[in-house]
Amino acid sequence: MTSERRVLVHPDAESLAASVAARFLTKVIDLLDENETIDVCLTGGSTGIAVLVAVAQNPAREGIDWSRVAFWWGDERYLPRGDADRNETQARAALLDRLELPLANVHPFPAVGDFPTIDAAADAYAAELGDTVFDITFLGVGPDGHVASLFPDHPQVTESSRRVVAETSSPKPPSERLSLTLPVLSASERVWLVLAGADKAGALGLALADANVASVPVAGVRGRKRTVFFVDQDAAAEVPDGLIDRERYWTAKDEA
């Protein structure tokens, strides 16, 4: 059964981040009413980190028992631990260090030096991940249509047997990265893709047109229950009006 896809448009990047943050907090509360623990997969990038900053600034976060929430990442730059360009480092500064989280609840990708090779690091994260299914997966989208560190026309995009892959020739620096594969991302209950800027309009249009996945990796991501594209007006420029819920405001009962 194909999951539902929605495009929710916001006036600008700032209101986009605040709205996604508020929706995330509401959904976490709802999920914790139904489950003892939940698993959330984070993304990096300027918009992804802006969402985490907005979560930290939202008073609703104080009412959540974060000890019941585990955090993972969809991909990571293969750099030394603590490097300012790592998604983990940025996420900790934006939000995670402000939450009362047990150490075991945070699952960063390995860093340079943790394992003898990047392939061993990928295998180690796959073992740690096991059969975890994410309740919510955040993803950014590159202008070229890449998600996580799955880049157009690279063999990692079509990998179907491995859960974690090593990318050693990324078209954007750094060249070495670790990434979850499309089957793992699409096993998520909910996939929330957050896009801002006119340079993302083409990728969004191709994703919604079900373009070739090998060339437009974002076209291959579908959450099992729901796939939502949270975008600003600039990113929505090439999306047909029939696919957009404009000026649509969420409520606590609104499923996402």
Q: Given the structure tokens 């003892």, which residue do they identify?
A: 36
CATH classification of the domain holding 198: 3.40.50.1360
**pLDDT at 107 (0 to 100):** 98
pTM: predicted TM-score of the whole model, two decimal places = 0.93
Q: What is the pLDDT of residues 21-56, one digit of tens each?
A: 999 999 999 999 999 999 999 999 999 999 999 999
The rounded distance, in Å, linking the Cα atoms of 20 and 91 is 16
Residues 6+ apart with CB under 8 A from 111: 78, 79, 80, 81, 82, 83, 86
- Report how far apart, in Å, the C-alpha atoms of 61 and of each of 19, 47, 147 are: 14, 19, 27
Residues of the domain holding 216: 4-240
Domain count for the chain, please give it. 1
pLDDT band at 238 (very low <50, low <70, confident <90, very high): confident
**Residue 206 belongs to a domain:** yes
Residue 39: phi, psi to the nearest 5?
A: -120, 130
Checking if the pLDDT of 248 tops 50, the result is: no
**Residue 136 belongs to a domain:** yes
